Amino acid sequence: MNVIEGKLRLNGDEKIAIINGRFNHIITDRLVEGAQDAFLRHGGNADNLDLLLVPGAFEVPFALEKALASGKYDAICCVGAVIRGATPHFDYISAEATKGIATVALKYGKPVSNGVLTTDTIEQAIERAGSKVGNKGSEAMITIIEMLDLYAEMGN
């Protein structure tokens, strides 16, 4: 059986953007740090990494669409933090962000990852932003690094 699987390596030429929904920035800034750290530690060139900031998770897919349409990026890592409150707003924002990211990613066929946290409590978000449960921004960056290599292996 021929197993085709992406490796975790960058050659330094890849142009990558992180899109960060700033809402709950105490959390999302940590996700950006995790993503940046993963990019650099896997061989990325700091000059080829852009950070695009948008107001909240709802706006992430809109910036993603523009960024991919520009043709400037090989892959994009999305981060944000939607934390459940007392209103149904959480469900609308988290659903739209997730659906929007997937829809735009499919349209352009370039690696895109979803590092937007959707948690019931701020404690759960903190746990996923560089403490007990790791850093989901770092995981999201590692995902696009693997997918970039997989697509190259597949001849795309």
Residue 112 interacting with ligand INI (CB under 6 A): no
Nearer to ligand INI, 55 or 71 (CB): 55
Least distance between ligand INI and beta carbon 16 (Å): 21
- Kindly determine how many residues on this chain lie close enough to bind ligand INI according to the rule CB under 6 A: 16
Residues in the chain: 156
**In degrees, to the nearest 5, what angle opens at C-alpha 33 toward C-alphas 32 and 39?**
90
Residue 85 interacting with ligand INI (CB under 6 A): yes
Residue 52 phi, psi (nearest 5): -105, 125
Name residue 36's amino acid. Q
Nearer to ligand INI, 56 or 137 (CB): 56
Residue 83 interacting with ligand INI (CB under 6 A): yes
143 forms beta bridges with: none
Residue 58 interacting with ligand INI (CB under 6 A): yes
Q: What is the C-alpha to C-alpha distance for residues 15 and 75, in angstroms, rounded to an integer? A: 7
Pick one of 6, 18, 21, 142: the residue that binds ligand INI (CB under 6 A).
Answer: 21
Least distance between ligand INI and beta carbon 52 (Å): 14
Least distance between ligand INI and beta carbon 94 (Å): 8
Alpha-carbon dihedral 128, 134, 115, 123, rounded to 10 degrees: 0
Residue 93 interacting with ligand INI (CB under 6 A): yes
CA distances (Å), 21 to each of 29, 95, 103, 105, in order? 9, 14, 18, 17
Give the binding site for ligand INI (CB under 6 A).
21, 23-24, 55-59, 80-83, 85, 89-90, 93
